[in-house]
Amino acid sequence: MSRPCPILTIDGPSGSGKGTISRALAQHLHWHLLDSGALYRLVALGGVRQGLDPEDRDGHARLAAHMEVHFGASDGAEHVALQGEDVTQAIRSEEAGQGASRVAAWPGVRAALLRRQRAFAEPPGLVADGRDMGTVVFPQADLKIFLTATAEERALRRHKQLKDKGSDVSLPALSREIAERDARDQTRQVAPLRPASDACVIDSTGLSVGDVVQRVLALGAARGMWAP
């Protein structure tokens, strides 16, 4: 059972900068970090590795409930292991992202991941990064941020990220994939991507990571979550 602690949720579409901002905030606050997208990516990847039928919803839900996952850090870098195997790189591929978006539309998978996600809430606090952190997983969160950016800017950011990693994906293809993924995440029946009614919406188009972090820190300080 997780213990009560302050919770900051950061939701938003792919490429809105949630991952970078959440990581920076968790480091600054010395809080735990939940990268919930990584859990959906692990279910998709685990399904492929186990040879599950891509449409086998029950099989994927069982995998979500029972897969052995480890998040750790060594040499200053984060590592993710699935069934004891390092999959840090493998879960970041576009293919794993697309697979994650597909399995994330299945209620059984989402239900199986709920308890896992809530277990990350441990003192001194949690920064939870995802799509439904403020709406479904942590509706009681102390501060909810919904981070957006224009689709063009998100495609450009993702393109630069992939290029820096040596992948050569065309910008138009990426823009199309982002638009497809947005549409699927926003229109699915369970936990669709949308801001919680009490979320603070921040449009990060044209803002630096530092600008966004400062805005979130100011919002939390105004609520007494930490010192200004």
Q: Which is nearer to ligand DC, 119 or 222 (CB)?
A: 119
Residue pair 127/29 in contact by the 8 Å Cβ criterion: yes
CB of 14 to ligand DC, least distance (A): 5
CB of 70 to ligand DC, least distance (A): 17
In terms of Cα–Cα distance, which of 225, 10, 2, 205 is closest to 127?
10
In terms of Cα–Cα distance, which of 59, 74, 177, 169 is closest to 108?
59
Q: Which is nearer to ligand DC, 119 or 218 (CB)?
A: 119
CB of 132 to ligand DC, least distance (A): 5
- Token look-up 């996600």 returns 117
Reading the block at residue 74, the tokens are: 């060594």
Q: Which is nearer to ligand DC, 140 or 228 (CB)?
A: 140
Q: Which is nearer to ligand DC, 32 or 41 (CB)?
A: 41
Q: Please report, for residues 67, 93, 110, 227, the alpha-carbon distance to residue 84 in angstroms, rounded to integers and kept in the order given.
A: 10, 19, 23, 40
Binding site for ligand DC (CB under 6 A): 14, 36-37, 40-41, 97, 100-101, 104, 130-132, 181, 185
At residue 13, the 3 state secondary structure works out as coil
Q: Which is nearer to ligand DC, 183 or 222 (CB)?
A: 183
Pairing verdict, β 143-148 and 200-203? parallel
Q: Which residue is nearest to ligand DC (CB)?
A: 37
Spell out the residues 6+ positions from residue 163 whose beta carbon is closer than 8 angstroms to its own.
none
CB of 19 to ligand DC, least distance (A): 7
CB of 207 to ligand DC, least distance (A): 19
